[in-house]
Amino acid sequence: MMMSKRAFALACLAAAGPALAQSGSGWYSIGQAAAAPDAGRVTIAAHGDPHNGEIMFCVEGHIMRLGDATLHYQGGGTQSFHISERIADGGCSRGKTLSGHNHGVESAEVTYDQAILAGGAVHVQLYVR
C-alpha cells in the first residue's frame, strides 16, 4: 500500500514531536496548559490566526491518551474533533483540518484519560499551520 506524500509528512511530523513542529515545517505553537492528573479535561487559551488551516495536539512531560477536543474560534464558532490517540511524551497527534471561514482558535477544551497519567505532570500544546 502506498502512502501519500502528505500522509507520510504528517506521520513523520507527529513522530518527531514539538521540536520539529517549530523548525521549518510551518507548524507553530498557539497555546499550552498544564493537565491536572485528576481532572480528565484541560482548557487551553490560544491565539490562532484566521488563516490557519490545520491543528495538532502535542504533549510534554508524560505519555497521554487524548480523547475529544472542542475548539472555540474568534467570533463565536466551534468545531469538535475525536482525537482518540495515545501520544508519547514529546509527541503530537495527527494534524486535523480546521473548518469554516475563521480559523482563529481562541481556546480548546481537550479531554484525556487521567488514569494513564498516574499522577504525572503533563502539558498539552496546540500547534497550527
3-class DSSP state of 100: coil
The confidence band for 8, taking pLDDT boundaries of 50, 70 and 90, is very low
Asked if 98 and 30 touch (Cβ cutoff 8 Å), the reply is no
Domain 5-128: assigned CATH number: 2.60.120.1380
Per-residue pLDDT, 44: 98
Record the pTM.
0.80
In tens, the pLDDT along 30-81 reads 999 999 988 999 999 999 999 999 999 999 999 999 999 999 999 899 999 9
14-18, 19-23, 45-49: range with highest mean pLDDT? 45-49
Per-residue pLDDT, 62: 94
Per-residue pLDDT, 7: 43
Contacts of 115 (CB under 8 A, 6+ apart): none
Q: Which of 54, 58, 60 is CA-nearest to residue 26? A: 54
Domain ranges of the chain: 5-128
DSSP state letter for 92: B
56 φ/ψ angles, rounded to the nearest 5 degrees: -140, 160
The confidence band for 19, taking pLDDT boundaries of 50, 70 and 90, is low
